[in-house]
Copies of this chain bind each other. A is one copy, B any other.
């Protein structure tokens, strides 16, 4: 069994390589884990012997299939716990990350299987992120950034790109959550903000940044 620290390294490498065309460098890992680059080098040397990833000095690392399997399993556990916390315990979507970060390290395949069934085998977590299945496969979905919708077009919110707490809380305030229907009333060229209609009732203005962080499923307009 891997230690919690080891699991966190693998997950960090996975997250970074997701964005970074397949490889993660020392500094990025250090930043992601709030530790020093020296510690990371140290850890990479020791961990690479366990075959979770390939490591070449000064060249960064990339995960092996063993490492990917471990990482997706952690993602799976994290997201299932998030569903539990929101759907069953009544937490809000902006409160669950740190808790899931702890819970994901609990080690029991049986537990995860039972939890998954109990939650109704959800395919997406409370932020709209896909939950990989036991084999590590993600369910892909038809989605676009809200930014790409033009005047008159409509969509249903299905996810958020970044899910830092302030952004989620801002969405709460605006009355936007998963399932919210958004119609683009107007696009302001000047600053790329948008005038939108939320659930056919209230008008709001969303900045370019907010729009680019919202994923929607286009619906017929």
Q: Which A residues are within 8 Å of any B CB, using their own CB? A: 85, 88-91, 95, 99, 102-103, 106-108, 110-111, 114-115, 118
Contacts and interface: CB of A to CB of B under 8 A. Distances in A.
Copy number in the complex reads 2
A114 B89 contact: yes
6 contacts: A88-B88, A89-B115, A90-B118, A99-B111, A102-B107, A106-B106
A89 B111 contact: yes
Nearest to A114: B89
Contacts of A99: 106, 108, 111
Q: A90, A103, A111: which has the most chain B beta carbons within 10 Å? A: A111
A85 B7 CA distance: 24
Contacts of A115: 89
Nearest to A115: B89
Contact of A91 (B89, B90, B95, B114): B114
A85 B111 CA distance: 8
